[in-house]
Amino acid sequence: MAKNIVFVVHGIGDYDQSWLQADSSAAHRLREDAKNYGFFEGKSVDTYVEFVPILYDDVFLRILTHWNDLGEALESAIPVMPDVASKVVDLLKRSDDGEWIINYAGDAVLYWGFRLYQQRVVLRVIAQITKKIAETITSSDQVPGYHILAHSLGTAVTHDTLHHLGTEDWLGALDHAPFNDLDGPDGEADHIAYRNSLDWMKDELGVANPFHPSLFQFETVTMLSNVSGLIHPSESPYHSIVRPGSASSEGAFTKNYLNVNHKFDPVSIACNFKMPRSWEMQGGVDISVDHVVEKNIHSASNYVAHPNVHLRLLQSYVDPYFASDDDIKAVTTFRRKYGINNIVDNQLKDRIKGLVDIDGDGINKLVAAIKKLEQML
């Protein structure tokens, strides 16, 4: 049985090929959470799934580094300059400062505001996704299922990438765009092999774009802290092909779409993508969570920690696995332990215990009374 392929698309920040092993990554959290369920005793998620990191942060890094170099060059060339120009140069010079906010927001600003960088990032991601799909299709008799797991800015990048991938003649653009994932001593040979695989797919199917939704569909697209509703340089995510449904009748690019946002994550609150109700009939699932497992509520790992999220992912990615009744009970247990409202309740109960001698049921009644009084006030 071929391993299912999960393309993991990162959000804002610095990433390299090892980031999927980091504690904050969705893939690492999914591997760890799986150990809590009987099916995975003595087994690993990696037995059934291949997680493929999709990297694009280096595109922004090169831009910011270039800006810094430009600022240094301007300062050397023009020793005395107007105050406004001096401030611009200072801004350029600090663009690679680890403490400067552009390292956190700069990626989103560059992607949102500059079409050239949008196109470069989209082509970068298309190259990585299609390269892996072409390799697996041409090298195996068993075709795996293909999934997308995206987080934060990666949800916008994913949406734009998939929309271009399924609707445009991007194959011709590959001849004119170098791809960093094909660099290195064997880069040229890799590029030739990659194009040969794509050409094989194109000839086998007899079409210019083998990834048109009438010919190809992703099994699932999962968006964690979905910002695509706010940042969408391409087609609106409410009307694009990146939606759940039947490829033949609906022109949809995925069979299932999982939209996950957090009630207390500022990014989710500001950029919340509100999944159309009609998608629920086509394979769309809208989940709102309110838990805290990590200090960074926005992290991909914190999102996946919720059983209502990772159980769905495990069922989608691991073909033999189906959540049992005992597994599903973990959702209720988790909410009681890590839900923000319950955390507040427990902290209040602990404080009351330290002040008065009262049994557990009495404490619950007192907490409820205090909450009701707060509402009245």
Residue given tokens 């059983």 in the structure block: 307
Residues 139 and 261 in one domain: yes
- 357 and 232 together in one domain: no
Tell whether 206 and 126 lie within a shared domain: yes
Rounded to the nearest 5 degrees, what angle is found at the Cα of 36, between the Cα atoms of 331 and 144? 95
What is the pLDDT, as a whole number, of residue 376? Answer: 45
Q: What is the pLDDT of residue 107?
A: 54
Assess whether 281 and 353 both reside in one domain: no
Residue 151 pairs in a beta bridge with 224
Question: Which residues in 335-348 are b (16+ Cβ under 10 Å) and which e?
Answer: beebbbeeeebeee
Of 285, 300, 325, the residue that ends a domain is 325
pLDDT given at position 94:
45
Given a contact cutoff of 8 angstroms between Cβ atoms, the answer to whether 165 and 242 are in contact is: no
* Whole-number pLDDT of residue 4: 96
Amino acid in position 243: R
Q: Are residues 320 and 346 in the same domain?
A: no
304/294 Cα distance (integer angstroms): 11
Residues 64 and 141 in one domain: yes
290 and 367 in a single domain? The answer is no
Looking at residue 91, what is its pLDDT? Answer: 41
Q: Check whether residue 285 and residue 362 sit in a common domain.
A: no
* pLDDT the model gives residue 39: 96
Measure the CA–CA gap between 74 and 59, rounded to whole angstroms. 23
- Same domain? For 84 and 110 the reply is yes
133 and 225 part of one domain:
yes
Are 175 and 308 part of one and the same domain? yes
Residue 349 falls within a domain, yes or no? yes
> How many domains does one find in the chain?
2
CATH code (residue 173):
3.40.50.1820
Longest CA–CA separation in the chain, Å:
79
Tokens of 54: 């999709």
Rama region for 357: left / alpha / beta (φ>0; ψ in -120 to 50; rest): beta
Query: Does residue 289 lie within any of the structural domains?
Result: yes
Q: Is residue 337 part of a domain?
A: no
The residue among 260, 297, 311 whose CA lies nearest residue 24 is: 297
Which domain does 133 fall in, by range? 4-325
Q: Tell me which residue of 314, 242, 238 sits closest to 272, measured CA to CA.
A: 238
CA distance 221 to 173: 25
Show the 3-state SS of 27-66. Answer: HHHHHHHHCCCHHHCCCCHHHCEEEEEECCHHHHHHHHHH
Concatenating the DSSP letter of every residue in 300-318 gives: HHHHHHSHHHHHHHHHHH-
Domain contains 175: yes
CA distance 56 to 109: 15
pLDDT value, residue 51: 97
- Does residue 332 sit within a domain? no
In angstroms, the CA 38 to CA 225 distance is: 29
Both tokens assigned to 324: 């049992």
- Residue 333 in any domain: the answer is no
Residues 59 and 115 grouped into a single domain: yes
Quickly list H helices, the chain.
26-34, 57-77, 83-93, 102-113, 115-139, 153-167, 187-205, 247-250, 266-271, 300-305, 307-317, 325-338, 340-355, 360-376
Instruction: Report if residue 319 sits inside a domain.
Output: yes
- Cβ-Cβ contacts under 8 Å for 148 (sequence gap 6 or more): 6, 7, 9, 158, 162, 218, 220, 221, 222, 254
Kindly give the confidence (pLDDT) of every residue in the chain, 377 residues in length, as a single tens digit, with 9 standing for 90 and above. 689 999 999 887 677 778 888 888 999 999 999 999 999 999 999 999 999 999 887 765 655 554 444 444 444 444 443 443 344 435 434 444 444 344 444 455 556 544 556 777 887 888 889 888 888 886 667 789 999 999 988 998 999 999 988 887 766 655 555 444 444 444 566 667 677 777 777 777 777 788 888 889 999 999 999 988 876 666 789 989 999 998 666 689 999 999 999 888 878 877 778 899 999 999 999 999 988 888 888 899 999 999 999 999 999 999 999 999 999 999 999 988 888 776 666 665 565 555 545 455 555 555 555 555 445 44
Pairwise CA distance, residues 80 & 51, whole Å:
53
